[in-house]
Amino acid sequence: MSVLAKNKSCRVAVAILSILGMLAAVVALAPQRAIADSSTGASITLQSSDSLANRTFQAWEPIRISSQSSDGSLTVDITDEYLPYVRTAAANLNLPIDKDTTNDRNVTATSSEDDVVEAVSHLAQRQHDGSSDEEARSFAKELQTVLVDNKVAPTKTNDDFVPQSSGARKLSGLDYGWYLIQETTGDNPALPSAQADNSPVSLVMTTPVTGGDVPVTVKSKTPESHKNIVEADHSQQRKAAVVNQNEPIHYQLTFYVPAQWSSQYADKGFWFTMNDTLDSSLVFDHADAIQIGDAFDSTTSDVDFSAANGLYDTSLAPTTTTADGKTLTWAFGDDTGTNLTANVANKALAGKWVKLYYTAHLSQDAPINTAIGNAYDVTYQHSPYSTTGGEKTPTEHPYVYTMNLQVDKIDGSNSAELSGVEFQVYSDEECTKLVKFSSNGSAYEYDPNGAVTTLVTGEDGKINVEGVAGSADGVTYYLKETKAAAGYRALNSAIAVTVSVQGFSDQADLVRTDGTTQTLTYSLAKQGGNTSVSNGVLVVKNYRGLLPSTGAAGIILFAVVGVLLIGGGALMLRRTKKQ
C-alpha cells in the first residue's frame, strides 16, 4: 500500500510512516500489520513500565488521511489550519522537497502545499531507511515549537487520553493521520517534563490497519541532573551559600542514568557529557573525585568511577575548557561513534547516580551582596541506534554570595576622621586565629593566603574589607586596635562585630530543581565600648587624652589628680595641727 498526496506525485510505503521521530521520552515503532477495511477509526495507546495515570499529554493532528483508493493508496492532506505551521517548520529546517536531497530545492515560506507534503513524505522515507533519524526528530520538535509559539490549541487534551487498567493511556476514535503527541507533565524530578530541550514528543501516524491501534512506549523515567554546593566531605547539599573570597567552594554535579537504559541501549551503549559554565567571578581550581552511587542524597554506597569498579578509568581534568576557563565539560563515552568501548561500559551505570566533585573560589573582583551563579546541564545520547545528536537536561543554577565589612575611625569629641589607625582581625574570641588579607589598593580582600595581617585606616579614616562571609545567624569577627592615631590611646579590648544576612536561605529544599536568586539585607551588630553602627558601617570612636568608656588614659589622669588632692589635703591637715 502507498500514501498518495492528492494531485501530487508522492507515493511512499505506509509502513515507513508508522512513526516519524523518536524523541527523548518516546522510543517505539508501530508494528506493521495487514491492511483491512475499517470504518471504526484509529487509536493510539501510550504505554510504559510505570503507570501513566498521573502524567499528562496533549496532541495535534497536523496531517490527515482523507480517503483510501481501491489499490490501497491513501490520500494525504494538510488542513488549511495546520498548513502554515507545517510549512514554517519545514522551511525553518530547509527541508529538501525532492527525494534526491542534492537537488537545490528546499521548502520556503512560500512553498505550495504540494511541495510541503512531498518534502515531509520524503523525510519519512529517509528516516525509515535509517539515514535521517536526527533530521526526523528535528522536524517533529520544530513543528511542536511552531505550534506552541503560535498558541495553536491542541486537537486532543489530557482528558482525551483515557486511563486503562494496565496503567496505559488510550486515545480513541481518531481520524487517520499524523498526530504530534507531547507530554505536559509538570516539573517533577521523578518524571519527564515539558521543558525546553527535554520535551517528550512523538509524531505518530495512524492508518486503516487491522485493529487500528498504534502502541507507543513512553519512558518511565528520563535522565536527571542537578548541581549543588556541598561540604568538603560531600555532605549538606544546598543551592546557596554565603562565602569568603579566595576560600574553597565545593560543588557537586550529578547525573542519574535510568535503569531501563541497560536494555534500551543494549547494543552500542550510550554517551553523556556534563556541561558546567561558571560566572566570571568564579575560578575553577580542580576536580576532586568522580563517583557512582545508588542514592542522590546519600554517599554511603558511593564508589570511585574506575575500571576496578566495572567501568573504566577516566581523567578528573575537564575534557574541554574554553579559553577563559569558564565553560567546562566532562565527556563519558564517544559521541562520534568512533570508539564505543566506553559507551558500552556505560551500561553498567543504569539505575545509578554519577557524581562529580570540583573545587572553585570567588575571585577578588566578586561583587558584594550579589547572586553569583553558574549553569549546569547534561547532554546525553538520544537514540539507541545513533550516537549523533543529543538531548539536554534542564539547566540548574546554584548561587553564592559574599559580603563586606566597613570600619570608620573617628574622634569621639568632634567626629574628625582618624587616619593611620591599625587593626588586626581575628576569627575567634580569644584572638588567636588571625585573619589574612590582600590589598587591591582601595580595599582589603579576604584571602587565607594573603600577606596582609594589619589593616590601616586611610586619609578618610575608613577601612573597607571585601569578600567576607555572613549568615542568617551571623558570623562574628574580632577587631583589635594595635596602633592608635597620634595623641590617642589604643582601645584595650577587641571589638566583636557580627555580619548578618537577613532573608538568606541555603535552599536545601531545592536540591533537585533550579536555585533562585535572593534579595538579602546586610546588617552589623557590635559589642564593645566606643562603637556604634551607622548605615551598615562600624563606627569606632577614640578620645584625645582620655577614654572614659574603656578607662585607659582617663583613669590614669584622674588617679594622678586624686593623689595630688589627697596629698594636698594631708599637707593642710599637718599644718593645721602645728598651728
Tens digits of pLDDT across the chain (579 residues): 344 444 433 333 222 233 333 333 332 223 233 334 444 578 899 987 778 888 889 999 888 877 666 665 566 678 889 999 999 999 999 999 887 767 789 999 999 988 998 888 777 666 555 555 567 777 888 898 899 899 999 999 999 999 999 999 999 988 888 888 888 776 544 444 444 334 445 667 676 543 478 888 776 667 899 999 999 999 999 999 999 999 999 999 999 999 888 887 888 999 999 999 999 999 999 999 999 999 999 999 999 999 999 999 999 999 988 888 899 999 999 999 899 999 999 999 999 999 999 999 999 889 999 999 999 999 998 777 788 878 888 999 999 999 999 999 999 889 999 999 999 999 999 999 999 999 988 899 999 999 999 999 999 999 999 999 888 888 999 999 999 999 998 888 899 999 989 889 999 999 999 999 999 988 888 877 788 888 889 999 988 865 444 444 444 444 444 445 455 554 444 544 455
Query: Looking at the domain assignment, is residue 550 inside a domain?
Result: no
**Distance separating alpha carbons of residues 295 and 374, to the nearest angstrom:** 24
Same domain, residue pair 137 and 166: yes
Question: Angle 532-535-539 (CA atoms, 0-180°, nearest 5)?
Answer: 30
Task: Please count the other Cβ atoms lying within 10 Å of the Cβ belonging to residue 104.
Answer: 8
pLDDT at 186: 64
pLDDT at 207: 62
Query: Looking at the domain assignment, is residue 58 inside a domain?
Result: yes
**Distance separating alpha carbons of residues 126 and 255, to the nearest angstrom:** 33
Overall pTM > 0.75: no
Domain boundary among 165, 189, 217: 217
**Distance separating alpha carbons of residues 133 and 253, to the nearest angstrom:** 30
Same domain, residue pair 418 and 373: no
pLDDT at 15: 27
Same domain, residue pair 205 and 63: yes
The x, y and z cell numbers of residue 457, run together, are 585606616
Same domain, residue pair 356 and 313: yes
The SS3 call for residue 163 is strand
Same domain, residue pair 483 and 518: yes
Alpha carbon 267 to its chain centroid, in Å, reads 32
Same domain, residue pair 255 and 209: no
Q: Residue 569: which domain range? A: 555-579
Same domain, residue pair 439 and 508: yes
Alpha carbon 171 to its chain centroid, in Å, reads 36
pLDDT at 327: 94
Task: Please count the other Cβ atoms lying within 10 Å of the Cβ belonging to residue 165.
Answer: 5
- Burial of 329 per CB tally in 10 Å (0-12, 13-18, 19+): middle
Same domain, residue pair 311 and 183: no
The x, y and z cell numbers of residue 413, run together, are 569629641
Same domain, residue pair 233 and 372: yes
pLDDT at 532: 87
Query: Looking at the domain assignment, is residue 317 inside a domain?
Result: yes
The x, y and z cell numbers of residue 223, run together, are 535522565
Domain boundary among 346, 363, 398: 398
Pairing of strands 444-446, 462-468: parallel
Total structural domains in the chain?
4
Same domain, residue pair 501 and 420: yes
Same domain, residue pair 339 and 461: no
Query: Looking at the domain assignment, is residue 549 inside a domain?
Result: no
Secondary structure E strands in 117-231: 161-163, 169-174, 177-183, 201-206, 213-217, 224-230
Query: Looking at the domain assignment, is residue 513 inside a domain?
Result: yes
pLDDT at 38: 41
Domain boundary among 199, 217, 235: 217
CATH of the domain at 502: 2.60.40.10
Query: Looking at the domain assignment, is residue 233 inside a domain?
Result: yes
Residue 534 and residue 524 in contact, taking contact as beta carbons nearer than 8 Å: no
Same domain, residue pair 450 and 528: yes
pLDDT at 203: 66
